[in-house]
Amino acid sequence: MLRHRVIPCLDVADGRVVKGRRFQDLTDEGDPAELAERYALEGADELVFLDITAAPERRGTLLDIVDRTARRAFIPLTVGGGVRSVDEMRAVLRAGADKVSLNTAAVNDLMLIEACARTFGRQAVVVAIDARMTMSGTWEVVVKGGREPTGLDAVDWAERAVGLGAGELLVTSIDRDGTGNGFDTALLRAIAERVSVPVIASGGAAGPDDFIAAIRDGGADAVLAASIFHRGIRTISEVKEAMAVAGLPIRLVPELVA
């Protein structure tokens, strides 16, 4: 039976892991490759790096981190942030990533998802959707790290992105991100009901109950969090054990079970 994945996300800026509240007030939390290896040993099912500076002149730094991480952590790695073309995606995959997540660039250039899926297969294309609730109770896609509204309905965009070739969706509630108020399960449910690809829940996790709710109530396939793992508030194995106790199928890491 397919397991629900627990995925630590490492926001990377200038070669370091950082985390802020609602994409602001960044603090330094360590070396990406070192943290990645630690998480892999603790039972992370996959890793996500989001390059939140993504300035073109810093690309080399990111590719170096991807290479070092791929050589230390033998679990899948998704890299996002600033990829705008097939060639840029190729460079990130060749450096050792398994998937690339597209966000702002996919909104700006609809053909990008299609071109990347055709070249690398849809399994390598993750579309990241940052969504904010509107006054009317729907969700709007925001880009540029949550700073810029697009006018796109998040659920419609999710469906469109899958139609264009997205093999997975990473859905972040900007309202919840960094708050510890739990995932936006209504947002997750609205999207998961409309697409057949796996949905990764992101934004707002504080404890194991939130992960369980994202899967049970939100219909997510996988759950992602950053600060609660970086700051040692919860370990990955603690979260996975709680999910297993709740009856969810998860991968118990052989090293930890013994």
Tokens of 177: 């991100």
Please state the closest distance from residue 250 (CB atom) to another protein, in A: 9
Name the one residue in this structure whose structure tokens are 């899958």.
Answer: 162
We find the least distance from the C-beta atom of residue 146 to another protein, in angstroms, to be 26
Separation of alpha carbons 155 and 192, rounded Å: 9
* Residue 153 annotated as catalytic: no
Q: Minimum distance from CB of 90 to another protein (Å)?
A: 8
98 near another protein (CB under 8 A): yes
Phi, psi of 42 (to 5 degrees): -80, -5
- Selected from 197, 213, 214, 224, the binder of another protein by CB under 8 A is 197
Q: Give alpha helix (H) positions in the chain.
A: 32-42, 59-70, 86-94, 104-108, 110-120, 154-164, 185-192, 208-216, 227-230, 236-245, 254-257
Q: Which of 37, 130, 140, 168 binds another protein (CB under 8 A)?
A: 168
The runs of H, that is alpha helices, within 22-140 are 32-42, 59-70, 86-94, 104-108, 110-120
* Contacting residues for 150 by C-beta, under 8 A, at least 6 apart: 107, 140, 141, 142, 143
Nearer CB in complex with another protein: 124/143: 124
Site string for another protein, 113-132 (x = CB under 8 A): -----xxxxxxx--------
Residues 93, 164, 187, 223: which binds another protein (CB under 8 A)? 93
Does position 85 interact with another protein (CB under 8 A)? The reply is no
Is 72 or 84 the residue whose CB approaches another protein more closely? 72
| Residues 9/3, Cβ–Cβ less than 8 Å | no
Identity of the amino acid at 58: R
Q: What part of residues 125-164 is at the interface with another protein (CB under 8 A)?
A: none
Residues with active-site annotation: 11, 130
Q: Summarize as ranges the residues that interact with another protein (CB under 8 A).
A: 1-5, 40, 45-46, 67, 70-71, 74-76, 93-99, 118-124, 167-168, 196-198, 221-222, 251, 253-255
